A and B are shown apart, each in its own frame.
Chain A
Amino acid sequence: MTEIVRLEEITKNFGYIKALRGITLSFTKGQKTSLLGPNGAGKSTLLRIIATQMIPSSGQVWIMNEDAQKNRIKAKKNIGVVGHRSFLYDELTVLENLRFFGSFIDSKEFEYDRVLKVTDIEKWRDTKSGHLSYGLRKRADISRALLGDPALLLLDEFFAGLDQETSSALAEYMKGLRDQTIITTSHTPELINSFCDRSILIRGGLIEKEVQLR
């Protein structure tokens, strides 16, 4: 199986707090992994390091066999990130937001239609993001993250603040994404594990348990 992400002995210290204490993991193509654990376990920090948004205190991150810290721009082109909070600008329409983010990876116009279709949000394309409900905004955000067909999708606290119906619908979308490697964090394993095939429990900055779900 093609390896998409490899983490080697990742540590991250915030002053005297050790958020990550030597994480070694690898993620293969199409694999969907949930990172579970209590608040402060280090899940989001790990996700941010993989997303090259944060520099680890030590250790190495390899994305598609390239050192992500040395080739950040190239790594980012292969990564789609959906944060707990939306990255979309309230004053721009959904399509304008997609065009803005897409312009950095040279997305073509047909690609906006494609990603809008994936999350079934086409009829809101000309609506300002600030006027969308939380669930629709999340879907628009997923569309943004899917631009450029990234090999890796990172979803932080993906279902936070969503109602049951929207969460189930989004879990279905995620199941449908066959080619993407997905790494997602959550406090609540039930929904996340409905589309993940591997679950990793992180506690105190260390991997406590790894379970193959299917």
Chain B
Amino acid sequence: MSDDTLSYALKLARKDLIVELRRPHELLSIIAFTLSSIIVSSFSWRTILILDPLVVSAAMWVVIFFASILVLTTSFAREVDRGTIDGLRSIPCPPYAVLAGKMIYGMVTLVIVLLSLIFSSLLFLNLNTALIPSLIIIFTIGAIDFALMGSMMSAVLMYSEGKNLLLAFLFFPVSVPILLPGIQAVAKILAGEPLMALMPEFRLLFAFMLAVVAASMTLFQEIFLE
């Protein structure tokens, strides 16, 4: 990505973040969903003496997964619904800068959500604070993967009649390459394994990231320019 493209993408992402922060009810509702999911989980797990790391990991990824759907369904759909998509098309920048802008916006929003997830997990699931840096690394990679894939899917489906429903349904099968290694990796962290033990999962997550970036660079122009 050239410097110009990155600068265009950052301008677009900044615009989306300002728009999002001026109508904060959506972001706040996603954070509220994250907090309540973890609190509800803590109610049932309070009686269990030793939590299975795989179960806790899966619960955390379910929250990230649903938050991703909520964040990413709106990214292109809102532009289409408001008629501003043609404004984006009129901007003199490469089409993939628009996609990159949406991806950066999705990543930043998901990182905010995952920080609230980790914070609430600390409080309600008694997470060991020493695990936080490793969790942040793996969840951030997962959030980047979700943002890349979700933004592209949101673009593909932006003109569909039931785009929100379709995205919710189609998001799951294409998320499996993120969820499987992600759940394993977080379970390993919760079980106290070192970061080096997560290399197979990191490789899978990075490979998926590269595949989505390659597909996006190839396909997005055709999707975006009708």
In order of increasing CB-CB distance, the 8 nearest A-B pairs are A87-B87, A85-B83, A76-B92, A91-B22, A53-B89, A81-B90, A91-B19, A77-B92
User: A73 CA to B94 CA in the complex, in Å?
Assistant: 7
> Please, could you name 30 A-B residue pairs with CB atoms under 8 Å apart, sorted by A?
A48-B226, A51-B89, A52-B225, A53-B89, A53-B225, A54-B226, A55-B226, A73-B93, A74-B92, A76-B91, A79-B90, A81-B86, A81-B90, A83-B83, A83-B86, A85-B86, A86-B84, A87-B86, A89-B19, A89-B82, A91-B18, A91-B19, A92-B15, A92-B22, A96-B18, A100-B11, A100-B15, A101-B87, A104-B11, A104-B91
List of B residues within 8 angstroms of A90 by Cβ: 82
User: A92 CA to B19 CA in the complex, in Å?
Assistant: 7
List of A residues within 8 angstroms of B82 by Cβ: 85, 89-90
A side interface size, CB within 8 A: 29
Q: What are the interface flags for B173-207 relative to A under an 8 Å C-beta threshold, 1 for contact and 0 otherwise?
A: 00000000000000000000000000000000000
Please indicate which of the listed interface residues B8, B83, B92 has the most CB atoms of chain A within 10 Å of its own CB. Answer: B92
List of B residues within 8 angstroms of A160 by Cβ: none
Asked if B92 and A105 sit within 8 Å, CB to CB, the answer is yes
List of A residues within 8 angstroms of B83 by Cβ: 83-87
List of B residues within 8 angstroms of A73 by Cβ: 92-94
User: A58 CA to B92 CA in the complex, in Å?
Assistant: 23
**Count of inter-chain pairs, beta carbons less than 8 A:** 67
Is A103 among interface residues, defined by CB-CB distance under 8 A? yes
List of B residues within 8 angstroms of A79 by Cβ: 90
B side interface size, CB within 8 A: 20
Q: Is the interface of B mostly helix, strand, loop or mixed?
A: helix
List of B residues within 8 angstroms of A91 by Cβ: 18-19, 22-23
List of A residues within 8 angstroms of B90 by Cβ: 51, 53, 76, 79, 81, 87
List of B residues within 8 angstroms of A83 by Cβ: 83, 86-87
- Could you tell me which residues of chain A, from 40 to 54, have a CB within 8 Å of some CB in chain B? 48, 51-54
Asked if A104 and B92 sit within 8 Å, CB to CB, the answer is yes
List of B residues within 8 angstroms of A52 by Cβ: 225
List of B residues within 8 angstroms of A104 by Cβ: 8, 11, 91-93
List of B residues within 8 angstroms of A88 by Cβ: 84, 87
Nearest chain A CB to B85's CB is how many angstroms away? 9
Asked if A53 and B93 sit within 8 Å, CB to CB, the answer is no
Asked if A53 and B11 sit within 8 Å, CB to CB, the answer is no
- Could you tell me which residues of chain A, from 152 to 181, have a CB within 8 Å of some CB in chain B? none
Nearest chain A CB to B31's CB is how many angstroms away? 19
Nearest chain A CB to B225's CB is how many angstroms away? 6
Q: Which of B18, B92, B225 contacts A92 (CB 8 A)?
A: B18
**B90, closest chain A residue (CB):** A81
Asked if A103 and B226 sit within 8 Å, CB to CB, the answer is no
Q: Which of A53, A74, A100, A101 contacts B86 (CB 8 A)?
A: A53
- Could you tell me which residues of chain B, from 66 to 94, have a CB within 8 Å of some CB in chain A? 82-84, 86-87, 89-94
